[in-house]
Amino acid sequence: MNKVFISGSVGANPRVSYTPKGQKIVMFPMMVEEGGFSIDVIFASGPSAGPSASDAAAGIGRRILVAGTLTKTKTESRDMLKVRASKILPMEE
């Protein structure tokens, strides 16, 4: 089973793109305070996700909880871990 729950804050304004079929893809780095690292979050909204999931990531510094799966991407110099989010929830301050 590959399921993770990570809390942190939005590290930069989310980048939004669309697939050829019109699916919205939201990508942003999330800063994780415990451990002092950043991890890229990728969220693909589906018909059941609703607009609130990607809206939760709006705003640099906003605290969020991300549920999803870890994925590994290989670059020329190293392997990178990313979170493919299934849910993004805002956290109360």
Please identify, in words, the CATH class of the domain defined by 4-90: mainly beta
Q: Which residue has the higher pLDDT, 66 or 49?
A: 66
The pTM for the full model equals 0.82
Per-residue pLDDT for 47 more than 60?
no
Distances (CA, A) of 31 to 49, 61, 84: 23, 9, 15
Report the pLDDT value the prediction gives residue 8, as an integer from 0 to 100. Answer: 94
Structure tokens at 73: 């991407």
- Mean pLDDT of all residues in 31-42: 90
Q: Tell me the torsion sign for CA atoms 48, 66, 71, 16.
A: positive
Report the pLDDT value the prediction gives residue 46, as an integer from 0 to 100. Answer: 65
Q: How far apart are the first and last CA of the chain?
A: 31
Specify the length of the chain in residues.
93
Report the pLDDT value the prediction gives residue 74, as an integer from 0 to 100. Answer: 85
Report the pLDDT value the prediction gives residue 27, as an integer from 0 to 100. Answer: 93
Distance from C-alpha of 52 to C-alpha of 83, rounded to nearest angstrom: 18
Per-residue pLDDT for 48 more than 70?
no
